[in-house]
C-alpha cells in the first residue's frame, strides 16, 4: 500500500493562500474587533479610476515599445547588441527614485531636452508633470523589459519552422502571421498582466511625476492607513480592493488569450529570411532609432552617478552589497522553487488531468502575490510571525520571504512555458517508460528547464536587489541593503552619493541580465 502524497505544487498553492489569508486576517482583526470597512466615497472612486487608467495606458505603451523593439532586434544584429539586451533587461529593477531623477535629468525644466531646445533658440517652457511624466517613467522602466522577454519568446520559435518558412518563400507578412504572432499571443497576456500590476502600485513615481493629488493611486491610501492612521483594518480592506481589481484584470487577460501548443524541436539560432526585406529594414531602423532616442538618454543620465563613486565606496557600501546579495539570493531561490512547484502542478492539471480551469488558477496565483500590496502583506505576516516567535528575527525572515514571493510571478513567466514544452515534447515517452517524480524532473525537464530557470533566477535576484518597499519598515542597522543606503544618503542631503549607489544597483542588474542572457542564448 502506498500513501499518496499531494503534489508539491498544491502544497505550495495552499501555503501561499494560507500566508496571504493569514496576513489579511491578522491585519483585519488586529484590534480584536471587526475591521473598520470604509465606504468607497467619491474620492476613492476617482483614485481607483485614475489607478486603472494610468496603469492601462502605461501597459499599452510599454507593450507597444517593447514588442516593436523586440521584433526589430530579432531581425537585426549589430555590434554591442549583447550589452543593449542586458540594459533592456535591467531597467525594470532600478529603484524608483533613480528612474524619477533620470526622467527629470532628461525631460525636466532644466533637463537635457530643455537645454537642447534652448540652444536651438526655442525659449518656451514645457512641463512633464501629469500623464506625460508618469507614462515616460513607466514606459522607461517596463518597455525594455517587455522587449527583452518578448525577444526571448521570439528566439524560441523552432528552427524547423524557419526552414519551412524559407522553403515556402513566406512573405514578411506571412512570417509575422505564422511565426511571430503565435509567440506574441502566447507571451503578451502574461507580461501585460505583470506590467499592469507594477504600474498600478508604483506610487512613488505617480506622486513625484503626477503633479498633485488628483494623480493619486490606491497604494497611497494604503500607505497612509498603515503609516499615519495606523488603521490596520482599513489597510486590509484597501488591500483587498486592490487585489480584486488586479486579479480581475489579469484573469481577463488570461481568459482572452490562450497559449497555443508548441512543437517538437531543438532550438538553434537562425537567420530570419525577412531580415533582407527593404521595407522592414527601414521600419527596424526607425524603431531602433526611436527606442534608442527614448531609452539611451535616460540610461546615460544614470551614469552621472560615477561622479561620486569614490566617495561612496566604503565599508558601509560593501556590507550593504553583501547583505543585498544574501537577501536577493535567498529570495531568488525561494521564488524559483515556488514557481517550479506551481508550474509543474499547473502542467499536470492542464495536460495529464485535463482540467484547464484549475491550471488557470495556478497560473493566476503568482500574479495574486504581486497584486497584494507589499506593505499590507509584510505587516500581516509580521503579526503572524510575532505570534509564533521572536519579533527581532522577523526582518531576517520577512525580507527574503516577501521579496521572494514578489518575484514568483516573474520566475513563473520563465519556468511555466518551458515545463509545458518539456511535457509536450517528451511527456508521452516518459510516461511509457514509467519515468515519474524526481527522475522525471532530472531526466526530462531539467535539460529544457535549466536555462530559463537561470534567467528567472537572475531576474528574481535583480528584482530583490533593487527593492526598497518593505525594508522601509523592517530594515535596521543589521539589515542595511543598497536601496536602504541610497535613501539614507538622500535623507542626509547627499544626492550625489545616492546617485552613485543607484548606479551600483543598476550596474549589478545589468550584470545579472547579461549573465542570464548569455545563459539563455547559449546553444542547446
Closest approach of other proteins to the CB of residue 150, in Å = 29
Question: In Å, how far from its chain's centre is CA 214?
Answer: 27
Of 292 and 495, the one with the shorter C-beta distance to other proteins is 495
Binding-site string for other proteins from residue 300 to residue 329, where x marks contact by CB under 8 A and - marks none: --------------x-x-----xx-xx--x
Among 13, 191, 239, 379, binds other proteins (CB under 8 A): 379
Is residue 223 part of the contact set for other proteins (CB under 8 A)?
Answer: yes
Q: Scanning the structure block, which residue is given the C-alpha cell 532550438?
A: 267
Cβ-based neighbour number of residue 121 at 10 Å: 6
Of 43 and 122, the one with the shorter C-beta distance to other proteins is 43
Closest approach of other proteins to the CB of residue 318, in Å = 12
CA distance 49 to 95: 26
Closest approach of other proteins to the CB of residue 394, in Å = 8
Binding-site string for other proteins from residue 258 to residue 297, where x marks contact by CB under 8 A and - marks none: ----------------------------------------
Neighbouring residues of 325: CB distance < 8 A, sequence distance ≥ 6: 465
Query: What is the four-CA torsion angle of 195, 217, 15, 22, rounded to 10 degrees?
Result: 180
Closest approach of other proteins to the CB of residue 110, in Å = 3
CA distance 517 to 148: 9
Neighbouring residues of 16: CB distance < 8 A, sequence distance ≥ 6: 338, 365, 368, 369, 405
Among 38, 44, 52, 100, binds other proteins (CB under 8 A): 100
Closest approach of other proteins to the CB of residue 183, in Å = 33
Q: Which of residues 472-501 bind other proteins (CB under 8 A)?
A: 472-478, 484-485, 487-495, 498
Is residue 382 part of the contact set for other proteins (CB under 8 A)?
Answer: yes
CA distance 451 to 510: 18
Q: Cα(first)–Cα(last) distance of the chain, in Å?
A: 42
Question: In Å, how far from its chain's centre is CA 301?
Answer: 23
Helix axes 374-388, 232-256, angle to 10 degrees: 120
Among 24, 104, 140, 465, binds other proteins (CB under 8 A): 104
CA distance 314 to 329: 22
Of 167 and 228, the one with the shorter C-beta distance to other proteins is 228
CA distance 46 to 493: 35
Question: Would you tell me which residues interact with other proteins (CB under 8 A)?
Answer: 43, 46, 97, 100-101, 104-105, 108-110, 127, 129, 203-204, 207-214, 216, 220, 223-224, 226-228, 230, 314, 316, 322-323, 325-326, 329-330, 379, 382-383, 386, 391-392, 471-478, 484-485, 487-495, 498
Amino acid at each position: 500500500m502506498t500513501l499518496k502524497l499531494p503534489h508539491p505544487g498544491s502544497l505550495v498553492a495552499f501555503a501561499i493562500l494560507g500566508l496571504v489569508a493569514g496576513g489579511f486576517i491578522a491585519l483585519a482583526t488586529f484590534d480584536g474587533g471587526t475591521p473598520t470597512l470604509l465606504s468607497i466615497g467619491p474620492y476613492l472612486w476617482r483614485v481607483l479610476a485614475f489607478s486603472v487608467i494610468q496603469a492601462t495606458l502605461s501597459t499599452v505603451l510599454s507593450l507597444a515599445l517593447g514588442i516593436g523593439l523586440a521584433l526589430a532586434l530579432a531581425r537585426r544584429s549589430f555590434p554591442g547588441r549583447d550589452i543593449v539586451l542586458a540594459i533592456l533587461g535591467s531597467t525594470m529593477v532600478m529603484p524608483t527614485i533613480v528612474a524619477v531623477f533620470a526622467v527629470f535629468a532628461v525631460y525636466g525644466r532644466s533637463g537635457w531636452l530643455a537645454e537642447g531646445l534652448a540652444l536651438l533658440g526655442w525659449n518656451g517652457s514645457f512641463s512633464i508633470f501629469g500623464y506625460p511624466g508618469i507614462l515616460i517613467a513607466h514606459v522607461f522602466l517596463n518597455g525594455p523589459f517587455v522587449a527583452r522577454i518578448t525577444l526571448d519568446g521570439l528566439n524560441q520559435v523552432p528552427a524547423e519552422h524557419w526552414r519551412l518558412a524559407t522553403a515556402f518563400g513566406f512573405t514578411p507578412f506571412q512570417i509575422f502571421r505564422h511565426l511571430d504572432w503565435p509567440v506574441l499571443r502566447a507571451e503578451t497576456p502574461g507580461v501585460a498582466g505583470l506590467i499592469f500590476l507594477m504600474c498600478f502600485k508604483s506610487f512613488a513615481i505617480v506622486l513625484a511625476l503626477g503633479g498633485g493629488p488628483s494623480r493619486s493611486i490606491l497604494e497611497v491610501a494604503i500607505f497612509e492607513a498603515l503609516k499615519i492612521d495606523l488603521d490596520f483594518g482599513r489597510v486590509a480592506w484597501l488591500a483587498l480592493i486592490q487585489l480584486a481589481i488586479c486579479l480581475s484584470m489579469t484573469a481577463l487577460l488570461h481568459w482572452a488569450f490562450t497559449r497555443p501548443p508548441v512543437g517538437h524541436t531543438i532550438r538553434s539560432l537562425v537567420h530570419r529570411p525577412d531580415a533582407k526585406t527593404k521595407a522592414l529594414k527601414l521600419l527596424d531602423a526607425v524603431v531602433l532609432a526611436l527606442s534608442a532616442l527614448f531609452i539611451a538618454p535616460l540610461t546615460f543620465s544614470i551614469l552621472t552617478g560615477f561622479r561620486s563613486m569614490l566617495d561612496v565606496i566604503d565599508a558601509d557600501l560593501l556590507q550593504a552589497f553583501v547583505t543585498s546579495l544574501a537577501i536577493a539570493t535567498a529570495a531568488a531561490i525561494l521564488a524559483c522553487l515556488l514557481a517550479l512547484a506551481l508550474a509543474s502542478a499547473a502542467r499536470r492539471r492542464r495536460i495529464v488531468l485535463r482540467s484547464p480551469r484549475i491550471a488557470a488558477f495556478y497560473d493566476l496565483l503568482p500574479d495574486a502575490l504581486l497584486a497584494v500590496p507589499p506593505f499590507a502583506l509584510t505587516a500581516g505576516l509580521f503579526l503572524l510571525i510575532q505570534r509564533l516567535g521572536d519579533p527581532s528575527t522577523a526582518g531576517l525572515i520577512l525580507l527574503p520571504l516577501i521579496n521572494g514571493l514578489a518575484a514568483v510571478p516573474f520566475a513563473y513567466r520563465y519556468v511555466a512555458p518551458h515545463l509545458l514544452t518539456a511535457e509536450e515534447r517528451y511527456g508521452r515517452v516518459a510516461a511509457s517508460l514509467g519515468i515519474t517524480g524526481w527522475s522525471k524532473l532530472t531526466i526530462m525537464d531539467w535539460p529544457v528547464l535549466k536555462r530559463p530557470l537561470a534567467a528567472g533566477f537572475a531576474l528574481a535576484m535583480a528584482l530583490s536587489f533593487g527593492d526598497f518597499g518593505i525594508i522601509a519598515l523592517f530594515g535596521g542597522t543589521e539589515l542595511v541593503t543598497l536601496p536602504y543606503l541610497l535613501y539614507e544618503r538622500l535623507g542626509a542631503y547627499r544626492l550625489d552619493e545616492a546617485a552613485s549607489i543607484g548606479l551600483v544597483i543598476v550596474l549589478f542588474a545589468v550584470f545579472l541580465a547579461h549573465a542570464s542572457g548569455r545563459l539563455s542564448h547559449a546553444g542547446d
